[in-house]
Structure 1
Amino acid sequence: MVQETVTCRVVTPIFSRSEELADQTDRLYEFELRPQSVRGVLHFWFRAVAPRVINICELDLSKLPSDLAKEFKDEKFKGLKYLEMLVFGSQNRKGPFGLFIQWREEDTEPIGRFGVDKKGKTVLNFSPIIGKDASYPLYGLYSTKENEKFITKFLKPGAEFKIHVFSNDSVTYEVVLSLLKLVSTISGFGAKTTKGFGEFEIVKPIFNRSQFINANNFEQLIKEVEGKIRKFIEEKDLYKALKLERTPSDLVEFPSLLPGKYEILTVPVQGQSLNEVFTKLYGMRVERNGDKTRIVRNWYRELKYRLRFVGKNKTGDAVKDLVNCINGQAKEADIGPAIVGLPIVYQNLRKAGARADRITVFPSVETTEPDVSAKRKTSVLRIIISQIQRTYQVSCLLLDSPVTQRGELEHSERNARFRLKLTLTHADLKDVLRKLNQSYHQRMRS
């Protein structure tokens, strides 16, 4: 048995709430980072790297015991499912490693405090660590509705937490540690990791995540994870059943780190505090010049706004087309923003004349991603926030993964006579990002 402790330091607030309200009066959920949540994240990124090591569709069933051969016979990704079982376990087989997480309660803080505005309406005054503009990406982690009020705690930036790993052998631990390095670099733990939250750095053993957040060095990190998985396969004699060759990229339906299927881009946003960075990413303001007003959307909001007009539809405005569909004036709408995560919710449509006040858009097929609901699809765009000395810098990771098959999307509107689709491609998204970054560079120079 190998027992090791990985010490981590929080970079951006980690949101992971307890299952039940800890305080009914204050409507507060405590911070709780559960082992199954950490394992789920490790599993997601293991699956992203595995196609670089094995052909996930191939498995020599003749090399397996009869019960396992029967279990994997009809699996689409036989090789992947078999390897996942041996690394993470399954319902019928205990995994070769376990873990638990340790943190200090005094390092947690509520997302904000309830208050009352001048009109007597309940509002949330956000923690100064994140600021009021974080309300945009942190939806779902709080509610100010009178009958549904709640707030959650987060683990504060700078706080340390420890991941205690227990594994059957050193080769298994090395796989886990390499995956933790990968998660530290491009992902995180808890909610809203695609929006830049939940990020951490590993301080023991020493690992400098910042040096790998670029196109050249990141490939080195992936190869390290790849090598640890290959070593696991070789030492466990799994190569007899598995096919040690890279999976053709057209066979992989989920997010992967195959060459050509990912890209790291620099985002022209930085700041001296997280509050400042979140404002520059998610804030919005109204500028007035005499009788004229202009809405200024910061980086991520501007991206979502531009995606609204990129779809190959008639009017070029996804929201207006959606309203026309609901009102029976159109038969289809092209929902471009769906490429950065599903489901998405459009609210207050009645203000635009629609019969429905709210509609939710879902992926049309069940996801093949681990630990993800069948009605969700992870965003292909992940915000990465790193801290270099006293400056926070922003990058993004693009994962070339289909958001839906055949371009069809489901929605919550009953008895509808219209269809929703997504024609925006990964190449389109990259082009929108390129133009958006160019415009921000010009804005900074001026």
Structure 2
Amino acid sequence: MTSTLHSAGESPAEVPEFPMARDARCPFDPPPGLYAQREQGPLTRVRLWDGSTPWLITGHAEQRAVLADPRVSADLSHPGYPATVPLPPGGVKRSFIGMDDPEHARLRRMVTAPFAIKRIEAMRPAVQKIVDDLIDTMLAGPNPTNLVEAFALPVPSLVISELLGVPYDDHQFFQDTSKTVINRTATADQRQAGHQALHAYLDDLVGEKLANPGDDLLSGLAERIKAGELTRQEAARMGSLMLLAGHETTANMIALGTLTLLEHPDQLALLRDSDDPKLVAATVEELLRYLNIVHNGRLRVATEDIDVAGQTVRAGEGLIMVNEMGNRDPEVFTDPDRVDIRRDARRHVAFGFGVHQCLGQPLARMELQVVYGTLYRRIPTLKLATDLDQVPFKFDGMVYGVHELPVAW
């Protein structure tokens, strides 16, 4: 569906709805409508559910420039912020990713140290054991099996639970609740209820850490509360954000990345038959570039007039950076619609750019390196146990992936 936009000084133009639907026949590619928008230029208009018409940015260079510009805001309460789904009455309680500096920087600094590269690398042997143990269990279980439930979801859930200090026995609760929060077809009330349930759960855990601290991230936040640097509500929101983001995104990358490799056997063979850790790392970066599971783009609003691709974006106008198109920009990546694990894909924007780039990217990279470097060697005959068109993709999610992945060996 389209509507007609009449802007001052502009001729009427067809404005497509956003988010756009993917083509089920090409489930690894961005929606065809995004390619059509890119043909018109790196900056075009789209229409959201509420009738607003923010700017859509498809170019890699333009996305990085906007994401690094201090004149744009990530504050979802700011007038003009392009919310891609209805917000509950009264808005939502913001975590630090929905704030601007200096408040964003103040809160983010409190959780930066646990995600430092050296600390994450120290976790690699423990993550390797988790991966190997899950593969052992999978091999001893039914064949075929659902890789999502048997492997892709447990790996990051176990890791983030250990890092945060969350009991893994509660994984069914936080996995099910997260599914509602990131479901684009859920109502605002349903998403709000999910957020509230996660927040209440983390608030209880923070309370436990205040009484009996351990060696985990939530206990570190509890110490900040005791020092008067953080409120308990802020700590619970931060914990809720990291728990949700820490397992949902990586779980979807494990499953979707595996499916991509199974559908590109030449690339899978290159990876499986190599003992070069640099190729494993390159595979992770290429699959992050090629797949880009953030489904609704990165959302901002201009706080001042800015120039983007020769066009003036006025203060109060929304901006949507569709990373899947930035990662398929032919000016940056040769033959961008092709998977090539030997390419240098490190300039991708899957983790965003600028001060709000993903805090957990060192952890995600390490987990994916362990998974991609282990799973296909340990199970060299791994194959899809159904036809591709029978795989249930998450076309309804804000995070893209598959609901199930039947595999055999």
Greater RCO, CA 8 A, separation 6+: 2
| TM-score computed with the length of structure 2 as normaliser | 0.27
| TM-score computed with the length of structure 1 as normaliser | 0.26
Which is richer in helix?
2
Which is richer in strand?
1
Q: Which structure: larger Rg? A: 1
